Chains A and B, each alone.
Chain A
Amino acid sequence: MVTSEVYKKEFDVIIIGGGATGAGTARDCALRGLSVLLVERFDYSTGATGRNHGLMHSGARYAVTDGESASECISENMTLRRIARHCVEETDGLFITLPEDDLQYQQTFVESCQRSGIRADIISPDEARHIEPAVNPDLIGAVRVPDASIDPFRLTIANLLDARLHGAETLNYHEVEGLIINQDRVQGVKLINKTNGEHVEVRGRVIVNAAGIWGQRIVQMAGAKISMFPARGALLIFGHRVNQMVINRCRKPANADILVPDDTVCVIGTTSDRIPIETVDDMRVTREEVDVLLKEGIKLAPSLATTRVIRAYAGVRPLVASDDDPSGRSISRGIVCLDHAKRDGIEGFITITGGKMMTYRLMAEIATNAVCAKLGNNVECVTALQPLPGSEEDAPSQSDTTKRYSFGQRAAIGRHGSLAARIEKDNDIDNALVCECEGVTVGEIKYAVHQLHVHNLVNLRRRTRLGMGTCQGKLCSCRAASLLGELNHDVKRAQDDLADFLDERWKGMRPVAWGDTLREAQLTAAIYQGLCGLDSVVNRQGKEDVQ
């Protein structure tokens, strides 16, 4: 449906927020036969969804302190292995005890895991060193748990794809400016289309607020109040994959105690700081955060000390004050679903928040149940059973050695699962590599532009990993910008887009700009400014960061 048609339609449900939770809710609602619109102010997965470890928790981390979250995690963990296997890498994880930690804690930890239904096997330090050579060799204890690595960008897109396959409409770069309220009922959203500045109103019978930390503002638009506690976490990406398993510290959760292997890289994090709600859009990583992450990360895997840091980033988790605590100080750790009719007397409005990327599907199920109750829909939830597009039973496997795949095809299967079959690869141009670090071909870029709502290079990166490898887009971004320019028939935009993309890459490199990362930055400047003169045709003065 063209966008102007979408504006005219009245939907059963309008979902605000294009993170994992919003996307999962759109899918669930669509599978239950509702007409769905999802709106997102930037690109999909720009908020907390795209700004975490990419860790598929076993729940072990929460076992000691929060049994309920731990149980939710392990249940969702097992579900995602089935329904989203093209987004998941089954790495398993270790919880290690270092000489400075209390080995007594290990026993408490294992018992708590067992209570929550999480397999937790104590293994010897020798065995730990054997199965994960990168681990700190000084460890005195280790427990093996079913942690895994998950690609949240791919997961979100797979949910959106399935929602669309079932009739949902999705609009990125559409920000909610207000709600349409009639007496005590929310009847729609007032939007600005950020690509052209147009203001529109779209009507819906139920509005779901899945806007993460930004959901506090949406609740205010409805005339109600919610207290959120933004918890900021910073992370570092290392230039290659040091570890094959997730490595955690076996102690009470603290700063920088999880190291996750993600595709070709690995990620250490996080710090954890409460920040004022006004600062949630400032994602700059500070020097202090970098120092803490490095200092602690090296304790998990000493080789990180000599591994290049390619990028730093931060995200904000939406923690919510418990409604039953009038002081507003007590925080609800788990999933929070608010029916504002019961809570505030506002009909047609639901907020789904709290929780974790990991439990997005359960959150979506809970929110969709609430929507269905309002609309009198009795269809059962099937999202835990039905595989996401790309993860069907007969999906090709990246590791299938009986098939002869090129590097690019193999990488694409890893990213898109069975949907990789839709990527054109019959002629040599479509097979040509654009991004050599991540194996992205011309065909995959065309597929992303035509099927995955790609407007710019940053979108393209999130869909394909283009520019996410060690060179951080040094050579591929120009090739890709040029291709996008051809596909969109707009060269000037392609140049601006290229500058935006390089700037976005730079923002993540700057906090860790030393060693080889500084070298890459200088080389990128030499190519795009020195050789090409991009800086003299693009004016970035006063420009907002691209998201």
Chain B
Amino acid sequence: MRTDTIIMGGGLSGLACGIALAKRGQRVTIVASGQSTLLFNGGSMELLGNIDGQVITSPLDAISTLPHDHPYSKIGTSRISSLASEAQGLLADAGISMEGTATTNHWRITPMGVAKPAWLTLSENIRIDELDKLPAKRVALMCIRGFFDQPNGMLAHGLRQLGFDVQMVEFTTDDITALRRSPSEMRAASIAKHLMSNNALQRVADQINKLAADADMVLLPSVLGLTDESHFKALQDMVHKPLRLIATLSPAVAGSRMQSALRHYFQMLGGNYLMGDTVVGGNLEGDKLLTVTTAKLGDMPLRANNFVLATGSFVSRGLMANYERVYEPIFDLDVDADGDREQWTRFGIMDPQAYSRYGVATDSGLHCLKHGKPIGNLYAIGSVLSGHDAIKMGDGTGVSLLTALAVAQDILSGNK
């Protein structure tokens, strides 16, 4: 079978790139280990939230001031705006309806009640456009009895700091209580699985209607919608007040849903998703990658015209470190990282950590480098790229989406 592009990594960037290529008729194979950091996403995308500790309100303007080694600078700041709208459209086509614009950040509310700048947020999640114009004054914060992945006290405190008048409402239903019999079952995903039945939803709605009658808005931990937004909509129809979800600690339901929605869309477009496999090596000849080998297919190398490295950062094992060095484990590509182990980290946990900016080295077209020379048909996208700190800059999901779409465009236009 002819494959146009093989993508290594099936998380946000790999899937976005695969979808963009498959939509234009390419035959694409994604090799996915099955773990994606999207599972830790509470339902928002970030383009750029902070520079040097300063909150960014207009990300497009700020992007033009970024240093040249930032992935956005490599894409070219003139392309950012159109790529951002393309990304939003792609998500919507996959069934992920998100709101927000690239010109002005809004605020997402974190599981601890902190407002953080965001680009896109799931429609059912609470979102604040301007801090002095809250979407509601009196909110009922629904706290599921025995559910510890929503730190209720901190969340309520954070919401009050933002100006909400918060009423904390503890509730449960017989069937949620039954879930708790197993001491480790009270996690967001297991509740969400349970709340896929309309009867179970109705019992939750009855509790909300009974206990939150005074509120202008009801906030429920994000324990709904493992597959799509239909359960949220069903519950909203049953509840008499406006209902919004609020992100929980990970693994988060919203993240799992976005991951599976993107994957299904990719497969619907004819994409080939090799689940639970990883690329372990490849055959490089000169400045060209000819084939790659996977752990499961062993002696059956996969051939393609173009290859995309979307294997993520250390968390996803796209980058690795032993006590001597930081390296890229598949091809031993050039990395931008300090050689001396003591430089990798900083003393305080909240300090910006040097390792956060490490990644594979690329040229201005996001081609990977080996021994200083670009490999013409091997691109890197997403968190495996160097030159940005997703934790401190709030640009992780944005870099994933935009580099994915930029590389897809370049591949389609025939290697820039």
Contact = CB atoms under 8 A, between A and B. Distances in A.
Interface of A: 287, 290-291, 294, 406-408, 428-429, 431-434, 436, 441-442, 475, 478-479, 481-483, 485-486, 491-492, 494-495, 499, 502-503, 505-507, 510, 512-515, 518-519, 521-523, 525-527, 529-538, 540
A166 B392 CA distance: 52
B250 interface: yes
Given A514-B322, A521-B353, A537-B114, 5 more contacts: A407-B183, A432-B186, A481-B151, A495-B154, A532-B110
Given A492-B157, A494-B153, A522-B356, A506 B349 contact: yes
A524 to B, nearest CB: 8
A486 B153 contact: yes
B79 interface: no
For B37, B112, B152, the residue with the greatest tally of chain A CB atoms inside 10 Å of its CB is B112
B114 A479 contact: no
Contact of A536 (B40, B116, B341): B116
B197 interface: no
Given A518-B355, A526-B391, A535 B350 contact: yes
For A291, A407, A478, A492, the residue with the greatest tally of chain B CB atoms inside 10 Å of its CB is A478
Nearest to A286: B342
6 pairs of A and B residues whose beta carbons are closest in the complex: A533-B114, A482-B151, A506-B349, A479-B148, A514-B321, A491-B157
A429 B146 contact: yes
Contact of B341 (A428, A475, A514): A514
17 contacts: A429-B146, A475-B250, A482-B153, A482-B154, A494-B154, A502-B349, A506-B349, A510-B345, A514-B341, A519-B317, A526-B390, A530-B390, A530-B396, A531-B247, A531-B250, A532-B111, A537-B112
B112 A431 contact: no
Contact of B152 (A482, A512, A514, A531): A482
Contact of B249 (A428, A506, A532): A532
B125 interface: no
B314 A526 contact: no
A304 B392 CA distance: 34
> Looking at chain B's contact residues, is the secondary structure mostly helix, strand, loop, or mixed?
loop
Given A531-B250, A534-B114, A513 B344 contact: yes
Nearest to B340: A287
Interface of B: 37, 40-42, 110-112, 114-116, 145-146, 148-149, 151-154, 156-158, 177, 180-181, 183-184, 186, 247, 249-250, 252, 313-315, 317, 320-323, 341-342, 344-345, 347-350, 353, 355-356, 390-392, 394, 396
Contacts of A408: 183
Contacts of B355: 513, 518, 522
A102 to B, nearest CB: 31
A518 B314 contact: yes
Contacts of B396: 530
Contacts of B42: 531
A442 B184 CA distance: 12
B321 A436 contact: no
B110 A533 contact: yes
Contacts of B112: 495, 532-534, 537
Contacts of A486: 152-153
A431 B186 CA distance: 12
Contact of B110 (A432, A491, A507, A531): A531
Contacts of B158: 537
A483 B323 CA distance: 37
Contact of A478 (B115, B151, B320, B323): B151
A526 B315 CA distance: 9
A502 B112 CA distance: 15
Contact of A531 (B41, B315, B323): B41
Contact of B350 (A433, A482, A495, A499): A499
